[in-house]
């Protein structure tokens, strides 16, 4: 499989590199960020052992498209996309929270609710809700942004009380997150999809709030097919979905939830190709465009290095 699971570039002006769970982030002159979307895949905050073909390209191109489609709501960090797997943007000071917006009771929120929780991140939930049920209005369930290990649920009041984010900044971020979710819901509906839940990350640039990282990708979001949703919900059946949740469910069914001592099940080449096809399907559904694979006649590392070098040279001349 032709996948990119590790990078070790040495770009001109490079100050540092951070290898995240999925993305490798290069600091250029403390001014720009080169974010490489690798083909790594994570679940339960664990990086799985095999890469997924074209996953990085799918994530990067979906995110870039949605950054452009929401720039009228909130400014964002994106400057250029010099390679299918790379976005170059402005360096911001990240806020230490992730804003998770939920329009439906699904995933981890449903698992907590099913276990008896009736309040998540300070948000009260009524009795009698069912899995995948649409909520009366979208809710915000923030998490801390951990440098390592697991993110943790946190309430608005805790965030402000602990000084993680100032109250006025949090209020602005809250408004942005809900507005972005409304736009994402519109765009998804236009292609026969339901945006179930998603996460947004924000930073500060010259004191102003800026949207950073990815947006509305299958790694950060959950989508259901709109067709058949009501019928499946009425019957208590699983929803057809395009998100990373199917990977989590595959792992759970094989006894893995990222807990100490658990072994990641074998990811065969056939399974990795299946996951790849699901990512490509989401790209085509959510964008309405046919997926065009990036060049593979040269090694991915070589292609990316040349494309980013050209981009940085142009920015240096500005």
SS3 272: helix
Q: What is the pLDDT of residues 247-305, one digit of tens each?
A: 998 999 999 999 999 999 999 999 999 999 988 988 999 899 999 999 888 999 999 99
Give the residue carrying structure tokens 């100050």. 15
Q: What is the pLDDT of residues 7-36, one digit of tens each?
A: 999 999 999 999 999 999 999 999 999 999
Q: Do 203 and 77 form a contact (C-beta atoms < 8 A)?
A: yes
H-only helix segments in the chain: 55-69, 107-114, 156-161, 167-189, 229-235, 245-253, 269-287, 300-316
Domains (range + CATH), the chain: 14-92+269-316 (3.30.200.20), 94-243 (3.30.470.20)
- At residue 148, the pLDDT reads 56
pLDDT band at 246 (very low <50, low <70, confident <90, very high): confident
pTM above 0.85, yes or no: yes
Q: Which two tokens stand for residue 53?
A: 């073909």
Q: What is the pLDDT of residues 105-125, one digit of tens each?
A: 999 999 999 999 999 999 999
The string of DSSP codes covering 172-213 is HHHHHHHHHHHHHHHHHHTTTEEEEEEEEEEEEETTEEEEES
On the question of pLDDT at 186 being above 90, the answer is yes
On the question of pLDDT at 182 being above 60, the answer is yes
């Amino acid at each position: 499989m032709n996948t990119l699971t590790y990078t070790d570039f040495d770009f001109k002006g490079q100050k540092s590199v951070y290898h995240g769970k999925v993305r490798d982030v290069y600091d250029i002159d403390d001014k720009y960020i080169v974010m490489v979307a690798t083909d790594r895949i994570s679940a339960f905050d664990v990086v799985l052992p095999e890469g997924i073909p074209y996953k990085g390209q799918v994530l990067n191109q979906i995110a870039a498209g949605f950054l452009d489609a929401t720039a009228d709501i909130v400014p964002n960090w994106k400057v250029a996309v010099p390679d299918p797997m790379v976005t170059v943007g402005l360096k911001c000071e990240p806020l230490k929270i992730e804003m998770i917006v939920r329009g439906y009771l699904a995933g981890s929120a449903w698992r907590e609710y099913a276990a008896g929780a009736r309040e998540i991140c300070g948000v009260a939930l009524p009795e009698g809700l069912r899995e995948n049920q649409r909520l009366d209005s979208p809710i915000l369930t923030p998490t801390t942004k951990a440098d390592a290990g697991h993110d943790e649920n946190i309430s608005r009041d805790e965030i402000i009380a602990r000084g993680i984010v100032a109250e006025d900044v949090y209020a602005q971020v809250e408004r942005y997150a809900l507005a972005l979710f409304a736009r994402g819901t519109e765009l998804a509906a236009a292609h026969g999809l339901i945006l179930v839940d998603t996460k947004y990350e924000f930073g500060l640039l010259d004191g102003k709030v800026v949207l950073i990282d990815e947006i509305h990708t299958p790694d950060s979001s959950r989508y259901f097919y709109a067709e058949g949703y009501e019928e499946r919900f009425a019957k208590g059946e699983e929803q057809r979905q395009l998100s990373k949740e199917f990977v989590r469910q595959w792992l759970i069914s094989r006894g893995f939830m990222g807990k100490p001592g658990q072994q990641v099940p074998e990811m065969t080449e056939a399974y990795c190709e299946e996951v790849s096809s699901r990512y490509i399907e989401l790209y085509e559904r959510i964008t309405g465009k046919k997926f065009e694979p990036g060049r593979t006649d040269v090694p991915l590392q070589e292609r990316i290095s040349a494309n980013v070098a050209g981009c940085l040279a142009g920015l240096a001349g500005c």
